[in-house]
Chain A
Amino acid sequence: MTEERLLEIKNLKKYFPVKAGVFRRTVAHVKAVDDISFHINKGETLGLVGESGCGKSTAGRTILRLLEATEGEITFEGHNLLELDKRELREMRKEMQIIFQDPYASLNPRMTVADIVGEPIDIHGLAANKKERNERVTEILDTVGLGTEYMKRYPHEFSGGQRQRIGVARALAVDPSLIIADEPVSALDVSIQAQVINLLQDLQKDFSLTYLFIAHDLSVVKHISDRVAVMYLGKLVEVADKQKLFDDPKHPYTQSLLSAIPVADPTYKSDRIILEGDVPSPVNPPSGCRFHPRCPYAMEICSEVEPEYKDYGEGHYAACHLLEQE
């Protein structure tokens, strides 16, 4: 594989202010994404996993500038996205699209399928006239497995799986190179999930797409990704090649996360690491390593010093004091 980087994130931060009092003064910040760095190579799928509230969706949205970053650098095909003005950004958005989790909430109920898929084509002026636009819409709908007979219909007439296909079609309409898929199959039934996953994989091959696949379901992420990044409370704790991450997880959080997955095989006995407690609040995260209050191996240093996020060989990144001692 040619390791050409399509997207590079450096020290990205996204803080949400917490306002209180009569004057709505900012009293604290929710550090949803707190200094993360990673890259995505052209044509690969990077899986981004973590539990609810870890900042994975915020990270995805900040990359697209649907949310404005607090600090950091986002380089996409050589351009720093955070320095683009509105017009340049709109131009750039053609290359980067998003698919949302909830196919019920993310489609406008008053628009027909043809208009939902056609809207991005109009905005970016990709069709010379109506006829050309409709041809393009037909072609895309056909690609995602929806027939032309559906063009005049409204979202409520479709099942969840079909709606997610419409969402995929809308993202594909402008012929992007990067698609951020934010929990695209979580809301779907088990038998439908496989259909959408297969579709995404086929499209990746046919259109040489690059995916940032955000999900909490580790089996799905393992299936679809080339590399996997694990987030915990706004930080990246581990990034590695899929096989390496699942065979040899280095960070204690990754280890417990992997062991917590229920395996669909009653004869399988896992050595489960049950974590104590809940994920702490991102408003006031623990000092030092954010995982230390729940970590089975926590040492004194872990509550004091934040571990450095670094490469432990062949692109296997992790942030843990245990590894530094080895």
Chain B
Amino acid sequence: MSKEKLIDVKNLATYFHTEEGTVKAVDGVSFEIYPGETLGVVGESGCGKSVTSLSIMRLIESPPGKIETGEIIFDNKDLTKSTQKEMRKIRGNDISMIFQEPMTSLNPVYTVGDQIMEAILIHKDVNKKQARQESIDMLTKVGIPLPEQRVDEYPHQLSGGMRQRVMIAMALSCDPQLLIADEPTTALDVTIQAQILELMNGLKDQFGMAIMMITHDLGVIAEVSDRVAVMYAGKIVEYTDVETLYANPKHPYTWGLMHSIPHIEKDVDRLQAIPGSVPNPLDFPQGCKYNTRCPFATDKCREVEPEIEEIEESHQVACWHVDKLEEAKAKEKKEKEKE
């Protein structure tokens, strides 16, 4: 692809130095986001997906957190080297973020209008009256009924879905190039989730921005992403476009995840659970971090950690035994045909 990258993350590592030891929350991840695309980042709790996004925004609390190595190239600048003053210009203006819990990310003592206006007044050269009008326009764009009235209401007067719309209005008010959405629909009901995902997809086209969608939900990822990074224990273990990932997962973890969820469109008698649980970040296993749960693990996996590498065109995987998974898939297919 010859397209210019919007953001290029190279070998990012963010550690937390705690009293109990060093937590390698993100340990050498590299990915890029192109203008106008949606990159899905999927993984379970503690895999480092949120820390990755907070590192991009430079919102890691230090101490205990620290970006140890790596570069985050955005607009020809390395954000890891930017000062907090420079970052304030970027945050909310070029890169915005929305969070899982809209109630805790909105300030309860200010009206929603005040909160949307705050960002507009900081980043744009407008007066208060214009900013208020822009806030009302934004509320209209995110589908809030009676925006002239809602603009003067407080967060507690809105429902969960409406609050998330306000968060989106706030995030998009300065026309960002990248929107980072950290589990934006996890706290919402399915019918409201459908509304918000539809809204985000529509606004993405309208504003021409890129989205980094962070979630644990394989359904949401399939629905909104162009490309996907699968994270496990601080690393990206598989990275490719969304169709390839679902049709042909190459990492045993991705494959295991897909088998462990019930699929609404097809019935199985028994789910194939991934044994064990996510390893403790203070005490990661040696070698490949998935080796304690992987059905294909060998001594090599327990000793040496595989690097992520391109095994097919734009399909990166970090696994020593891609061939073993292929054998398992072929066997599974044969069994299915027998039935």
User: What CA separation (Å) do A223 and B270 show in the bound complex?
Assistant: 9
Closest chain B residue to A202, Cβ basis: B270
Q: From known contacts A51-B189, A189-B216, A274-B195, infer whether A198 and B222 are also in contact, taking CB-CB under 8 Å.
A: no
Residues from chain A with Cβ under 8 Å of B246 in the complex: 264-267
Q: Which of B160, B191, B247, B273 has the most CB of A within 10 A?
A: B191
B38-54 near A? 1/0 per residue, CB < 8 Å: 00000011000000000
The answer to whether the Cβ of A81 comes within 8 Å of any Cβ in the partner chain is: no
Residues from chain B with Cβ under 8 Å of A274 in the complex: 191, 194-195, 198
User: What CA separation (Å) do A197 and B260 show in the bound complex?
Assistant: 10
Residues from chain A with Cβ under 8 Å of B243 in the complex: 266-267
| Interface contact B261-A263, CB-CB below 8 Å | no
User: What CA separation (Å) do A223 and B194 show in the bound complex?
Assistant: 21
The answer to whether the Cβ of B82 comes within 8 Å of any Cβ in the partner chain is: no
| Interface contact B222-A275, CB-CB below 8 Å | no
User: What CA separation (Å) do A189 and B44 show in the bound complex?
Assistant: 6
User: What CA separation (Å) do A275 and B189 show in the bound complex?
Assistant: 12
**CB of A228 to closest CB in B, whole Å:** 12
Q: From known contacts A190-B261, A261-B264, A264-B246, infer whether A278 and B192 are also in contact, taking CB-CB under 8 Å.
A: yes
The answer to whether the Cβ of B206 comes within 8 Å of any Cβ in the partner chain is: no
CB neighbors of B among A214-234 (8 A): 216, 218-220, 222-224
Q: From known contacts A262-B193, A263-B219, infer whether A222 and B262 are also in contact, taking CB-CB under 8 Å.
A: yes
A117-134 near B? 1/0 per residue, CB < 8 Å: 000000000000000000
User: What CA separation (Å) do A195 and B260 show in the bound complex?
Assistant: 8
Which residue of A193, A261, A272 contacts B219 across the interface (Cβ within 8 Å)? A261
| Interface contact B277-A263, CB-CB below 8 Å | no
| Interface contact A262-B219, CB-CB below 8 Å | yes
User: What CA separation (Å) do A121 and B10 show in the bound complex?
Assistant: 57
Closest chain B residue to A277, Cβ basis: B145
| Interface contact B220-A262, CB-CB below 8 Å | yes
The answer to whether the Cβ of A159 comes within 8 Å of any Cβ in the partner chain is: yes
User: What CA separation (Å) do A198 and B193 show in the bound complex?
Assistant: 27
| Interface contact B44-A265, CB-CB below 8 Å | no
| Interface contact B194-A264, CB-CB below 8 Å | no
Q: Which residues of A contact B (CB under 8 A)?
A: 51-52, 159-162, 189-195, 197-198, 201, 216, 218-220, 222-224, 246, 256-268, 272, 274-275, 278-279
